[in-house]
Amino acid sequence: MTNILIIVTGSVAAIKLPILVKKLQQKRLTNGNSFQIRIVLTEPSLHFFKLVEVENLLPACSIFRDADEWSKWRQMGDPVLHIELRNWADIGVIAPLDANTMGKISNGICDNLASCIIRAWDMNKQLLFAPAMNVYMWNHPITEKCIKVLKELGYIQIGPISKKLACGDYGMGAMAEVDQIITKIMEFVK
């Protein structure tokens, strides 16, 4: 059984989360693969899809957001959510990885549930990331520096691809196709 932790950040490509989850689950049905899914959301990611759509696809208590970190900790000895989720995960998938979170995690910054999990990542486990952002953000030289750091850490890049973006610009920066992300994930599912 492989535990897949999907971390969703605030790019408009988060609109694809329901279809990503749906298609991933179909893989389980068709191939007899054995895996569980949990989702971690940043607050900005919630702008781009209907939470209830994703809740309907997953068992209860599979979706986590920042407030859950604080509501679970009252005193010493209480579970620390970002550590619990890090321990639970066999593989992490950041899809989409927005420019902001890319900047943070490539510099060791952790100020929400998603980035704390990544900051505490067990480096023996695979961490996949699918960047998604505006073409000018993608082409900005700071992006290359961030990607270099993430790849040096051993994290696995998926995409982006070139197409018409949400704002009407055309070019690199769109999240890799859902099927491409799923194919990559399945390489690591036992």
Residues of this chain that interact with ligand PCO (CB under 6 A) are: 11-13, 15-16, 132-134, 163, 165-167, 169, 173-175
Name the β-bridge partners of 127: 92
Name the β-bridge partners of 156: 128
- For ligand PCO, the closer of residues 55 and 169 by Cβ is 169
Least separation in angstroms between CB 37 and ligand PCO: 20
Q: In angstroms, rounded to a whole number, what is the distance separating the alpha carbons of residues 59 and 122?
A: 25
Q: In angstroms, rounded to a whole number, what is the distance separating the alpha carbons of residues 172 and 52?
A: 31
Give buried/exposed letters for 12-40 (b at 16+ CB in 10 A, else e): bbbbbbbebbeebeebeeeeeeebbbbbb
For residue 18 the two structure tokens come to 């329901």
- For ligand PCO, the closer of residues 35 and 45 by Cβ is 45
Least separation in angstroms between CB 169 and ligand PCO: 5
- For ligand PCO, the closer of residues 81 and 105 by Cβ is 105
Least separation in angstroms between CB 84 and ligand PCO: 30
49 φ/ψ sector (left φ>0, alpha ψ -120 to 50, else beta): beta
Least separation in angstroms between CB 112 and ligand PCO: 20
- For ligand PCO, the closer of residues 69 and 98 by Cβ is 98
Looking at the annotation, which residues are catalytic? 167
